[in-house]
Chain A
């Protein structure tokens, strides 16, 4: 399906249309919307990590000045169990409703237990302080070892492990067990010359998007709600809000704002249903914004994990067997990113015998949300670290070890399907040839290599194209622009229509103005929504050919579309001038009315994305501090629609992965209270912490896309964790199997 062609617009490094307003501060984000008579909503949150809510007394708070409405769990309808589909993370609407507002139990420190709408933030907060909640404290379960123990305190009293052949006899904190396997690992390990096995751990981390969650909601007397919010998917906000409040989706209109980062964390709801309910109760618009502290304590971080990996190999590096035992924290409700983590872990390698067992485990932490390639960074950190240890043992170059076992077109992926055209080998070979890979290292310096993988998604998208009377183009679609997608959509429309990029405008329309579109996530937008835009543009081209044919009095199939013009096919006896898009649009009234193209689709065949990254680090042996000296990210991107923004994705993913490896972690006290709920002590890298991240785009076209596009946004965060861990091993001579590699941990390891 992929065509070999010379592109005119695709591949140009144009300026994104939303850029100027974003860098000058004029763009409107979630907290920038206001309405007359608006109230401010604030949330009362549990001071305990695990407690029964005995009673909530709001009487005094309700009488306080400025207070218009108070809601607690009792104001929310009961919600039936139903799996959430179409989003980016696993979950259930019943759990989502209880996460939005606690009912009989507070399940993590920061869990919402009540909310107030008042005339000012100060009055709302004064009222929160006046709400009396009686709690009965329960033991806090804070990690998978404690949660999986036989005598563990139960977070959900009637949770029976799913995925077992028979329903267990007693409840536990293990929500689900899954297994993936091929062959017989006993046989594989028997064939091995070397067997290695180790346990790796990763901490709870947050996406760290700069913009906190924010929304404004209003509901009219007829019961129709309008919500302005920052989200990765306004159709998902609509469906989630409708489920949590038992409202008709047709009565909820969601208008997305610009978005200050999401990375998967803005694919669910926390405050939107609360704001709608407070608006309903008060009869006024209600604005809610989370503080940074609330974002850390009560939005969705990524799973902390414990992974035990075992690998068998021949002396030449051929892998004979691999096993993985994966335990992922889900937070207070079932539905971690275990499944994709399990499906990705061995995806890059050909191995006849493997066994993956995974556990989705409840703990008293906020319910995890998607974070960029959800689940893959943790499991692949473990596997790619152990492969590095194996390479050392076999005295093989880590790239050679991977080349020896790399999957290619036709290989059966560990998660099931046969790979179509993929670029893993190309990435490995590019890494080996890269000049950075040959640079000499100084004292206390080390180099690390690792691979990354993500499936990428297709799913549902819609697009409309309107041709204005002067031939300019308006594209209407429904994916909040999180990484420059307006520019990519405009480039694809310009390519198909044969017009310059600057004649195209892209609008991200609300739930009542755009066709249904799945979330901005899964690295699907440029692939799937881009495909909808391409199809809508082709719809326009078809219509233009008909209009030209009618104008010229010939058959439509005698018309070609070249360089933005309708032209008669060679040999057609028509003495006519080519008609531009502007000519046809200007004459549209006489040829059948306005030009409107559209497409809606459920995109299949998202091409998987492979990456190979390597980095050099230097350790200060006296303090344990690691400095990243050089970082090189190489990735198969299919076809880069806008190379600068693709490179930006590789760099951004590397930066986040380096942060995950070096310093980021939720630090909890003995009571399950996060101690570092702010950017001062939750340490994401600052600009001066990182070197310039070198990128190399490998382009192996995805055969399922007209231009060869494959998703690029998520793969970049997968490799860096192991890259840094492997480089740290090289620099220090010590293997540390727990992240982050913070200076106290590294120094303690160096001192043995």
Chain B
């Protein structure tokens, strides 16, 4: 196994592009090192991106935020401006693993690991986050939901590295929230999760909304019908019930050691409702 620690993204994408065999990007390492030590992967090349200055920072850009690929999740929680603008994304990032894990893990790693149960992904998708991708042929930007194509699979081409996540400037009266269900209180993986982001118009009426569900399909599910169920409402009980029903209808879960199909579908609706209520309140709704 070869280990490289380049100091520029150009060098990093060059190494990944030329790599023979299995090449992995290392940021926090909380997924890669565990899989490596467990004997599940045997990389030929590991490219550590933590020495590339540009990806180790959170920068403000046009009222929004650009979070570098090597920024540990704990730093998201320490950034007051980010927390104020996108509390749902930050709370999702600060649910991953434990305090110790959050000191190392990154939201880009969480995304590129491509687990259907990744905590930060539904929150990012709900918030309309974009992934900035660097590659041997230049840079491109895609919606976060377009990065993952299935469990453990991404749409990244050979040599490409996600270098940052961009969050837009939140529109006025916008709130986001993320909730997950785990049987414990921490150190666990989402059995079901829901991210909701909504923007209010006049009189507390929901003007726009996005609902994303985790761990109920091979990738994060963007539940457009669930979002549509609350647009134009003041999130009254009837709207919440429609939201829950639409969220449940969007689920395509499996039975496994973490939960049953029935449980996941039922609780997806519960979490979508609860997350929507929190987002509504954060948006200034009453």
Please list 7 pairs of residues, one from A and one from B, whose beta carbons are closer than 8 Å in the complex, sorted by A's number: A623-B181, A667-B257, A686-B186, A686-B187, A744-B259, A748-B260, A748-B263
Does residue A468 face the partner (Cβ distance < 8 Å to B)?
no
CA distance A623 to B183 in the complex (A): 10
Question: Does residue B185 face the partner (Cβ distance < 8 Å to A)?
Answer: yes
Q: Which chain A residues lie closer than 8 Å to B181 at the CB level?
A: 623, 625, 743
Per-residue contact bits, chain B 231-272, to A (CB 8 Å; 1 contact, 0 not): 000000000000000000000000011111011001100100
Contacts of B189 in A (CB 8 A): 680-681
Q: How many residues of B contact A (CB 8 A)?
A: 20
- Contacts from A to B (Cβ < 8 Å): 125, 622-625, 662-663, 667, 675-676, 680-681, 683, 685-686, 688-689, 742-744, 747-748, 751
Q: Total A-B pairs in contact (CB under 8 Å)?
A: 53
Are A685 and B184 neighbours in the complex by a CB distance under 8 Å?
Answer: yes
Judge if B188 is at the interface, Cβ distance under 8 Å: yes
**How would you classify the secondary structure of chain B's contact residues: helix, strand, loop or mixed?**
loop
Interface centre among A622, A663, A688, A689 (most CB of B within 10 A): A622
- Shortest beta-carbon distance, B23 to chain A, in Å? 20
Which residues of B are found within 8 Å of A622, using beta-carbon distances? Answer: 267, 270
Contact check, B260 vs A744: say whether CB atoms are below 8 A apart: yes
Given contacts A622-B270, A623-B181, A681-B258, 15 further A-B contacts (CB under 8 A): A624-B263, A625-B181, A663-B183, A663-B184, A675-B256, A680-B187, A681-B189, A681-B257, A686-B184, A686-B187, A688-B186, A743-B259, A747-B263, A748-B260, A748-B262
Are B257 and A742 interface neighbours, CB within 8 A?
no
Q: Which residues of B contact A676 (CB under 8 A)?
A: 257
Q: 7 closest Cβ contacts across the A-B interface?
A: A744-B263, A688-B185, A622-B270, A667-B257, A675-B257, A676-B257, A744-B260
Cβ–Cβ < 8 Å partners of B260 in chain A:
744, 748
If A125-B39, A622-B270 touch, whether A683 touches B185 (CB-CB below 8 Å) is no
CA distance A742 to B185 in the complex (A): 14
Q: Which residues of A contact B266 (CB under 8 A)?
A: 747, 751
Q: How far is the CA of A623 from the CA of B257 in the complex (A)?
A: 17
**How many Å lie between the Cα of A685 and that of B182 in the bound state?**
12
What are the residues of chain B within 8 A of A125 when measuring CB–CB? 39
Distance in angstroms from B94 CB to nearest chain A CB is 14
Alpha-carbon separation in the docked complex, A751 to B189 (Å): 25
Q: How far is the CA of A748 from the CA of B260 in the complex (A)?
A: 10
- A685 cross-chain contacts in B, Cβ below 8 A: 184
Q: How far is the CB of A481 from chain B (nearest CB, A)?
A: 28
Chain B residue at minimal CB-CB distance from A665: B257
B262 touches A743 (CB 8 A): no
| Max chain A Cβ within 10 angstroms of own Cβ: one of B183, B260, B266 | B183
| Inter-subunit contact A625/B187 (CB<8 Å) | no
B248 to chain A, nearest CB (A): 13
State which of B183, B256, B257 has its C-beta within 8 Å of the C-beta of A743: B183
A-contacting residues, B180-212, CB 8 Å: 181, 183-189, 191
Contact partners of A663 in chain B: CB under 8 A: 183-184
Those of B30-54 within 8 Å (CB) of chain A: 39
Given known A747-B266, A748-B263, contact A742–B187 (CB-CB < 8 A): no
Q: A667-B257, A675-B257, A744-B259 are in contact. Are A683 and B184 (CB under 8 A)?
A: yes
- Closest Cβ of chain B: how far from A122's Cβ, in Å? 9
In whole angstroms, how far apart are the Cα atoms of A667 and B255 in the complex? 12
Which residue of the partner chain A has the closest CB to B37?
A: A291
Q: Which of A623, A683, A742 contacts B267 (CB 8 A)?
A: A623
